[in-house]
Amino acid sequence: GENVEQHPSTLSVQEGDSAVIKCTYSDSASNYFPWYKQELGKGPQLIIDIRSNVGEKKDQRIAVTLNKTAKHFSLHITETQPEDSAVYFCAASFGNEKLTFGTGTRLTIIP
Amino acid sequence: GAVVSQHPSRVICKSGTSVKIECRSLDFQATTMFWYRQFPKQSLMLMATSNEGSKATYEQGVEKDKFLINHASLTLSTLTVTSAHPEDSSFYICSAQTEFYGYTFGSGTRLTVV
């Protein structure tokens, strides 16, 4: 089955700087790669996603890049703000099948 | 956008009793519902996948007789934790999957068994 690794597990960034979180996946058949933000005591919220036919996608301060050959995908947050502090999860799936989640990254934005 | 309403948000039950968690898809029909469990500071682990009108498919190591899943309609799926024990204390999250909306997560249920 699919295995998703995520790094780093914790990340502290000065407000205004950029944050990058990286994930690798094992199943080359996976074609959908979402990123979720989870705040304490809440369910995950989709912040951006990418499909395997696209190499990069951007939404304001958030971008995701995908390298299918290397089976890597990364989340980039620019101009970080205190409200970006949360736990971020990457995930991978094939079609509409189950999502496999990474281990999570606790992002702390230092004011 | 799509919303999945999950209730209750928090529940405390006595050891040996059962508790039911409900997830309702609002304004859309969810043919597939995923149920996850999340322990503190850990990732989401898939427990089971349910399709409306069919028996749920459980992941390896998940006791199907302990975690009963019912997906009797396209807008309602329930997870019942039977004979709960303290080790079942966790954060349970549902996720509805549709072609149009993709994966939509509920807000989670914090279960504490005392």
DSSP letter for B108, please: -
Q: Quote the percentage of chain B above a pLDDT of 90.
A: 81
Please state, in angstroms and rounded to a whole number, the distance separating the CA atoms of residues B49 and B64. Answer: 11
CA of B12 vs chain A CAs: smallest distance (Å): 15
On the 0-12 / 13-18 / 19+ scale of CB atoms within 10 A, B96 is buried
pLDDT digits (tens, 9 = 90+) for A39-72: 999 999 999 999 988 899 999 999 999 999 999 9
Q: Check CB contact of B6 with chain A, cutoff 8 Å.
A: yes
Strands A32-38, A45-51: pairing kind? antiparallel
Q: Is the pLDDT of residue B100 over 90?
A: no
Instruction: Tally C-beta pairs within 8 A across A and B.
Output: 43
Higher pLDDT, A8 or B99: A8
